[in-house]
């Protein structure tokens, strides 16, 4: 499984795809830096000087890696969003710290700050997983397969570990990506940090390959794109700062995309500037991948993937009337079931479907080959308005 550049940067919905530069100079245990090979206690180097990834499934090896994190109030654990092994590594760090008696809280890029109360309710057992996904608008605001994160959230709920929504509201980051910071009105600017710095030349160059990979090329667009990333990093750093300041007995483990955690002009340097202490950084993969980055612990990747989710095999669209069928492939189970363009999806597996998030939830744990009852309302022709029930085999 290979990481895409967009996942390396932990991008959110900035340019329509699911997706920062002050550098803090702080006196902390040095991070591994690929340019100077500074190594914290507990990390061994082979003869060629390159750090060896730690197998998170090996409790002894993981224990030695966690020793290097002892006493740190802030631990950033990176990810490529669609890699299951990275999320299992994140869970291994959280579990290992918790089992050592460290009072852990978990900060997450994939939830936005305005929805914090729903995370609190979930950890307290007041709402279930599906309610959490609805209330936080997960499928509108993040969109990656929730099963990648499920075990982390379940572990936090089981052990009553606080969950912290770190990210900025998508509405604000999308606005910055469209008009830039200079184009915001007074009300929008009031939501921004007063001392938010514009990205420097080095930061722009680091983001350029990702920006151009998605078909964008203009210098103005790159500037706006980078400003949205600056906003994102700054917001996550400030929420993290506020949490550890209000909860000095807690160690905050921050889960975010590698581009947010492995570079000193992203979250680490901002937290250093705000708090006067450098966070520890944990990443997964090869050392070459982070040639320009910095980290304390390098975890090994594993060749493991989620089973593919079940799919209707239809192209669907969200309209005023709800979720409708836009296209049905020839010789597909949907075509054989008699489903047509224009049909409105009423329910799947007995679960009402009013929008795309409802559809995603209805299919969340459905597997390819599974048969599911689907109810539609005919949208066109002499049967318009008639409700039909069919059994559909998922692809």
In a shared domain, residues 283 and 343: no
Please tell me whether residues 154 and 246 are part of one structural domain: yes
The C-alpha angle 271, 274, 279, rounded to 5 degrees, equals 25
Q: What tens digit of pLDDT does each residue of 285-340 get? A: 999 999 889 999 999 999 999 999 999 999 999 988 899 999 999 889 999 999 99
Which 8-state DSSP code applies to residue 104? E
Q: Do 305 and 274 form a contact (C-beta atoms < 8 A)?
A: no
Residues 196 and 344 occupy one common structural domain? no
Q: Which residue range forms the structural domain that includes residue 207?
A: 5-299
CATH value at residue 60: 3.40.50.11550
- What is the rounded distance in angstroms from the CA atom of residue 39 to the CA atom of residue 305? 31
pTM assigned to the model: 0.86
Q: How many domains does the chain have?
A: 2
Average pLDDT over residues 29-45: 36
* Domain shared by 49 and 183, yes or no: yes
The verdict on 212 and 328 lying in the same domain is no
Q: What is the pLDDT of residues 143-196, one digit of tens each?
A: 899 999 999 999 999 999 999 999 999 999 999 999 998 899 999 888 887 778
**121 & 21 share domain:** yes
Find the helix or strand (DSSP H, E) in which 351 lies: strand 351-352
**307 within a domain of the structure (yes/no):** no
324 and 187 within one domain:
no
Residue 196 resides in a domain = yes
Half-sphere exposure of 4 (CA within 13 A, CB side): 14
Q: Does 354 have pLDDT greater than 90?
A: yes
Q: What is the CATH number of the domain that holds 359?
A: 2.30.42.10
Domain end residue (candidates: 299, 327, 362): 299
Going by C-beta distance under 8 Å and a sequence separation of 6 or more, which residues neighbour residue 214? Answer: 6, 15, 17
Both 255 and 361 in one domain: the answer is no
Q: Summarize pLDDT for 59-112 with one digit per residue, the tens.
A: 999 999 998 898 899 999 999 999 999 999 999 999 999 999 999 999 999 999
């Amino acid at each position: 499984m290979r990481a895409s550049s967009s996942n390396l940067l932990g991008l959110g919905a900035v340019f329509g795809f699911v997706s920062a530069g002050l550098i803090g100079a702080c006196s902390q245990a040095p991070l591994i830096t690929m340019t100077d090979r500074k190594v914290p206690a507990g990390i061994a180097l082979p003869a060629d000087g390159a750090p060896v990834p730690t197998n998170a499934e090996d409790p002894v090896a993981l224990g030695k890696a966690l020793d290097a994190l002892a006493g740190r109030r802030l631990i950033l654990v990176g990810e490529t969003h669609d890699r299951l092994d990275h999320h299992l590594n994140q869970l291994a760090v959280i579990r290992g710290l918790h089992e050592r008696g460290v009072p852990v809280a978990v900060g997450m890029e994939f939830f936005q700050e305005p929805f914090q109360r729903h995370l609190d309710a979930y950890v307290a057992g007041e709402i279930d997983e599906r309610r959490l996904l609805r209330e936080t608008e997960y499928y509108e605001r993040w969109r990656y397969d929730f099963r990648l994160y499920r075990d982390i959230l379940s572990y936090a709920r089981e052990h009553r570990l606080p969950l912290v929504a770190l990210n900025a509201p998508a509405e604000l980051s999308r606005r910055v990506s469209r008009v830039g910071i200079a184009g915001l009105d007074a009300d929008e600017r009031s939501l921004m940090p007063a001392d938010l710095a514009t990205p420097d030349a080095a930061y722009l160059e680091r983001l350029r390959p990702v920006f151009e990979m998605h078909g964008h090329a203009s210098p103005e667009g790159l500037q706006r794109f980078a400003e949205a990333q600056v906003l994102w990093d700054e917001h996550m750093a400030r929420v993290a700062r506020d949490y550890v300041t209000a909860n000095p007995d807690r160690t905050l483990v921050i889960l975010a995309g590698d581009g947010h955690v492995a570079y000193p002009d992203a979250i680490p340097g901002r937290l250093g500037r705000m708090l006067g202490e450098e966070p520890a950084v944990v990443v997964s993969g090869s050392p070459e991948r982070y040639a320009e980055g910095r980290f304390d612990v390098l975890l090994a990747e594993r060749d493991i993937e989620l089973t593919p989710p079940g799919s209707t095999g239809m192209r669907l669209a969200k309209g005023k009337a709800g979720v409708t069928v836009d296209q049905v492939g020839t010789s597909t189970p949907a075509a054989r079931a008699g489903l047509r363009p224009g049909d409105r999806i009423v329910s799947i597996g007995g679960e009402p479907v009013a929008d795309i998030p409802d559809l995603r939830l209805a299919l969340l744990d459905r597997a390819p080959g599974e048969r599911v009852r689907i109810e539609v309302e005919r949208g066109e022709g002499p049967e318009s308005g008639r409700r039909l029930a069919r059994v559909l085999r998922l692809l």
